[in-house]
Amino acid sequence: MEPDRLFALKGAEVLKRRRKAQKLSLILPGLGQIYEGRNLTGVSIFSIFSFPFYYWYLLNFPVNYGSLTLLISQALLYALQAYDAGRGKKRETSPCEDFCPAGVKVPSFMSLCEKGELEKAFGVFFLSSPFPFTLGELCPAPCEEKCGVLPERPLRIKEVHREMARNVLEKIEVREREPFFPKVGKRVAVVGGGVAGITVAYYLSSVGVQVDLFEREGELGGILNVIPDFKLDRKISKKEIAFVTSFKNLKIHLNREVRERPEGYDAVVLSVGAQRERKLDESLIKNFSGRVIYPLEFLKNPPHLKGKKLAVIGAGDTAFDVSRLAVRRGAEVVVIYRGESSQIRANRRELTEAIKEGVRVYTECELKGSKGRVVSFSCGSFSPDYIVPAIGFDVDRELLSRFEGDNIFVTGDAATGMTTFVEASAKAKETAYKILKKLGLKDRAWFTVDFYFPKPERSSGSNLFVASESSLCQHCGIKVKS
């Protein structure tokens, strides 16, 4: 069985059990909790709910303000215990999970990796995001910043799920497959085939919704398609996308730019990203005799760079993608940033790697003007062959304004502005759940269920790095609790 299907079916069973527990709690407070195995909680709720009524009975049911207060408080308790029964068991989570935007179940997939059950680990990851490999390559890993298991370094969490996913994807044969649940007569259009669009399309199509995914380019991936090869194994990434979009009820429309709301859909999702490049003040570069190239064009079609000089304006991840690619192609590169070093937006690992590779970074340095080949900055001058203004991206507000009416959902970077891949995927999963609620299908939202796998007694995985690194995870005192 496909690893994600396994957890989808298990998740559906959990949701079904929660529905039954909630119904039982409406019949008798605390009964739903007992049905779920939370006996102490159930008995406590029943006792707390019942005793005031017994006391009221002993007083011969007096009618006064105290009685009214009692009834109101008991009605509130009745509603809260029903909600509690419907939400199921909860557990303490580790700091790594709490600080992951997608809420990846780190201890669970680490346990399965330690046991050598990589396909199950792959499936568990899909509860949070359908990109275990891509995020393993590109995620800034805020989870690792909060890991305090080892005194000298954090656990290499993203490297573990990257290698776990690589191992599984290399073995998977991608072919068309049926959704996890019976198809329903609901149709959703997803406009934009980047990380967020693919995430929404995956979760919706997995539960039987008919999804049409529109992408204006010739392939899915969005900004992934301009990430340099030294940062992303494109072959495995494309196979991951192929697997994620392999449902028969997910139809992909490439080279289709959608500028107005498509008709005939129960919901429309806008996941067009933030890909409008901010432009430099033309007055500062109008006298520059070299060439000005903006990042997306540069990364798609880099010019001949051997022996050339490059000035990159800005200090985000895109700026360092450009600078590291240029250095690898033989250019001399300077990165110019007007803010302080503490304000650099790029991931610190990117900054460190760029400096190691020979990129010179100047902070508190602002572009002042240009004449001929000389470009003047507040910190000096430089004579580059190329200027790359990597000063950020904006959302196409004019496009978004064309989509009006009910059941329009904006997600990913189109909703928040430029973020990380993991944040875009997390936002898209939330959007998928909102749509299922709107369509009356929230009982199929298998990806909202939490599965916890305790730490095994011993490591048994055949992949030495994955097994040994995951064995270091201590689960930070996790205990399943009511």
User: Average pLDDT of the chain?
Assistant: 93
Residues 63 and 99 in one domain: no
**pLDDT digits over 305-323, tens only?**
999 999 999 999 999 999 9
Asked, for residue 345, whether it belongs to a domain, the answer is yes
Structural domain count of the chain = 4
Question: Domain range holding 22?
Answer: 3-88
- Which pLDDT does position 481 carry in this prediction? 47
Asked, for residue 337, whether it belongs to a domain, the answer is yes
Q: Is 232 helix (H, G, I), strand (E, B) or coil?
A: coil
Residues 103 and 192 in one domain: no
Asked, for residue 31, whether it belongs to a domain, the answer is yes
Neighbours of 2 (CB within 10 A): 16
- Which pLDDT does position 477 carry in this prediction? 60
Asked, for residue 169, whether it belongs to a domain, the answer is no
Task: Tell me the torsion sign for CA atoms 256, 261, 265, 266.
Answer: positive
Asked, for residue 57, whether it belongs to a domain, the answer is yes
Residues 384 and 292 in one domain: yes
Tokens of 170: 């290399």
Strands of 56-97 (E only): list them.
90-91
Residues 350 and 304 in one domain: yes
CA 453/CA 105 separation, integer angstroms: 9
Return the exposure string of 60-86: e unless at least 16 CB atoms fall within 10 Å of the residue's CB, then b.
eeeeeeeeeeeeeebeeeeeebbebbb
Could you tell me how many residues make up the chain? 482
Contact between 147 and 208 under an 8 Å Cβ cutoff? The reply is no
Q: Which amino acid is at 220?
A: L
**pLDDT digits over 376-389, tens only?**
999 999 999 999 99
What are the phi and psi torsion angles at 481 (to 5°)? -130, 160
- Which pLDDT does position 288 carry in this prediction? 92
Low-confidence ranges of the chain (pLDDT < 50): 479-482
Residues 460 and 374 in one domain: no
Tokens of 263: 């008709």
Report the candidate in 131, 266, 176 with the shortest Cα–Cα distance to residue 212. Answer: 266
Q: Which amino acid is at 449?
A: V
Residues 387 and 460 in one domain: no
- Which pLDDT does position 468 carry in this prediction? 93
Neighbours of 218 (CB within 10 A): 8
Q: Specify the CATH number for the domain of residue 348.
A: 3.50.50.60
Over 114-178, what HEC string results?
A: HCCCHHHHHHHHCCCCCCHHHHHHHCCCHHHHCCCCCCCCCCCHHHHHHHHHHHHHHHCCCCCEC
242: left (phi over 0), alpha (psi -120 to 50) or beta: alpha
Of 30, 61, 88, the last residue of a domain is: 88
- Find where tokens 């085939």 sit: 193
Asked, for residue 179, whether it belongs to a domain, the answer is no
Of 88, 109, 137, the last residue of a domain is: 88
Residues 193 and 135 in one domain: no
Query: What is the DSSP code (8-state) at residue 215?
Result: -
